[in-house]
Amino acid sequence: MTGGESAALSVLGAVLGLDVVSFPQAMLSRPLVAATLTGMLMGEPERGLLLGATLECFALETLPVGASRYPEWGSSSVVGGALVALPGASTAGALLLAVIVTLGWAWVGGWSMVQLRRLNAHWARARHDAVARGSRATVTGLQLSGVTADLVRGGAMTLAGLLLFVPAFRWGVAHWSLADIPTRGVLMALAGIVAAAATHKVFHAVAGTRWYMLAGLAIGALLLGGTR
Amino acid sequence: MTAPPVPLPLGTRAAILLRLLAIQGSWNYETLVGNGMGFCVEPALRRLPGGVDGEAYRAALARQSQYFNAHPYLAAVAVGALARAELEGIDPTKIERFRTALCGPLGSVGDRLVWAAWLPLCALLALLVFALGASPLGTALTFLVSYNAGHLALRIWGINVGWREGLHVAHALGTPVLRQGPVWLARAGTLVAGVALPLVVQRLVGTGRAIQVEVLAAVLVGGFIVTRFHGRVDAWKWSFGVLVVFALYSVLR
């Protein structure tokens, strides 16, 4: 990976990391979008999409609710997308390793967001008197400082992820010993199980949803039969 | 409903909408989204007597920048209503009480409607489109366009209804879309999930592969078992552990 590619990916990771909470929260940072965009940027859109769809099954379980700590999918999906776009990374083993890296790095990214929130609190505390006086410059400044810090955080997470994981990923792909079919089977079975569990977790409180799920599965099975 | 004292110019509404996209820019564990509220209401406060150099402006901005908690999209309702209350010159004590009272409902309604219903529904819809063979760009756009149609509509509606209703905005939170919306969306979401699940597995595994049936069976049985343990452990976390062990076995053996 060239320095130019790393720089471009870091900018993309910064923007997508920023999207998670600070601006504009348009869900560009969801793995389905972020990994696909990265794949497109790196000239491997299909691999990016495959990774993004797999990760989205995991991400369905993690919703960005309020003060809770949740995975930061924006910059981590850029790292994962960059990995599967590397030459020779079209195998199921490469996809599985990219999923592991993205899941782990997303959790570290969630930790970095917690640190940013603490930094924002420190800045707000230091400027409390000015805010209490109704200083327009202070209110605007706090907002811009937070957004800028988050942008830097996303970029740094992406660059650090690339530096850490590109060599490790190449080594892992070169030493992968299991065949493609069982590897893909294990990965997709787990992704499917998490997606099914997430659907239950998110929607189970609404009465009757199990019947909608069963009806959907019946339609899905019919469509599946039609494609075979 | 009472008529607003003065129309809110389109430019001011646009400035508020743009700022609302960054309302969580300085989110922290002490004032939460408080500074962001002040930041978003500020364009409207410039219309107070004396402008940005006036005492009324500074007092209102200080009031609006205190602790506040709400769903980031539905905070638009509070921004509209508080902007009107400030421009109408309502008693500051009453404004502060109203501001505090808005926190709970705007948080819980937004979480139920957006995070626990609209977002997963749009993600599942995009996964279904992917499973049906859509291109990378088509899949990403399906998610982005559908999700953000609801996202932006909610923010714009929030500013408008907040400004129109002012301190009486609580009535607007009883609208059927907010009350029943999560239920309808949850039903649609489970239906789409049911349709998408087997098709997504098929596309991810690859057509013509012998293991498709085994993987589908594993998903159905595993999904059923995992839902029995609902609430005890996040499925993605133990799946991550299984994947790590599997990868180590493959790489190190």
Q: Using one digit for the tens of pLDDT, what is the confidence trace for A129-141? A: 999 999 999 999 9
How would you class A177 by CB atoms within 10 Å of its CB: exposed for 0-12, middle for 13-18, buried for 19 or more? exposed
CB B54 within 8 A of CB B73: no
Q: Is the confidence at residue A37, as pLDDT, over 60?
A: yes
Instruction: Please tell me the distance from the alpha carbon of residue A55 to that of residue A60, in angstroms, as a whole number.
Output: 9
Residues of B in contact with A50 (CB under 8 A): 204
Diameter over CA atoms, chain B = 76
Distant-in-sequence, close-in-space partners of A19: CB < 8 Å, separation ≥ 6: A25, A26, A27, A28, A29, A74
- CA-closest candidate to residue B82, choices B20, B25, B30: B20
Instruction: Please tell me the distance from the alpha carbon of residue B69 to that of residue B66, in angstroms, as a whole number.
Output: 10
pLDDT above 70: percentage of residues in chain A: 99
Q: Which of B29, B38, B216 sits opposite A67 (nearest CB)?
A: B29
Query: How far off is chain B from A34, nearest CA to CA, in Å?
Result: 9
* Contact check, Cβ <8 Å, B219/A189: yes
Q: Tell me if residue B28 falls in helix, strand or coil.
A: strand
Query: How far off is chain A from B1, nearest CA to CA, in Å?
Result: 31
End-to-end Cα separation, chain B, in angstroms:
72
pLDDT given at position B31: 95
Query: What pTM was estimated for this model as a whole?
Result: 0.96
pLDDT digits (tens, 9 = 90+) for B45-90: 999 999 999 999 999 999 999 999 999 999 999 999 999 999 999 9
The answer, for B194 touching chain A at a CB cutoff of 8 Å, is yes
Return the residue of A nearest to B185 by Cα.
A203
Query: How far off is chain A from B251, nearest CA to CA, in Å?
Result: 5
Mutate to test the interface with B, among A37, A118, A142, A173 (most CBs of B within 10 A): A142
The answer, for B98 touching chain A at a CB cutoff of 8 Å, is no
* Contact check, Cβ <8 Å, A27/B119: yes
Instruction: Please tell me the distance from the alpha carbon of residue A110 to that of residue A115, in angstroms, as a whole number.
Output: 9
Query: How far off is chain B from A195, nearest CA to CA, in Å?
Result: 8
pLDDT given at position A49: 98
How would you class A203 by CB atoms within 10 Å of its CB: exposed for 0-12, middle for 13-18, buried for 19 or more? buried
* Contact check, Cβ <8 Å, A184/B107: no
